[in-house]
Amino acid sequence: MVKGTLNDWKDKDKGWTAEMAVPIADLTRFGDVFGGESKWRILISRYNYSRYLSNVELTSLPCLSKTDFHLIEEYAVLILRQPKYK
């Protein structure tokens, strides 16, 4: 969701949010385990450029020891649990 106008350089957006869903079958189709025994890692990163910025901003969660999105060993551990439906 964009809080502003998508791709309109003439205005200044207030922010944005993103949501992602991946089917469990796609996560496990190559033999990876889903659930408490899994060893998944995640990095959320952003390449931010704007006419309001003097330099490009590279941000990530978790924070990395240096600006290098290939530091896989520093990615956060991701715990995946099967949803319980009633």
Question: Prior bond to 62 cis, omega within 30?
Answer: yes
31 in a domain, yes or no? yes
Task: Give pLDDT tens digits for 43-53.
Answer: 998 887 777 77
The answer as to whether 85 is a domain residue is yes
Is residue 86 scored above 70 in pLDDT?
Answer: no
Asked if residue 11 is part of any domain, the answer here is no
30 found inside a domain? yes
Q: How many domains is the chain built from?
A: 1
Asked whether residue 63 is domain-assigned, the answer is yes
Q: Looking at the domain assignment, is residue 36 inside a domain?
A: yes
pTM assigned to the model: 0.59
DSSP track, the chain:
-EES-TT-TTS---EE-------HHHHHTTS---STT--EEE-EEEEE--TT-SS-EEEEESPPSSS-TT-GGGSEEE--------
* Domain annotation covers residue 6: no
**Is 2 domain-assigned?**
no
- Domain range for 55: 23-86
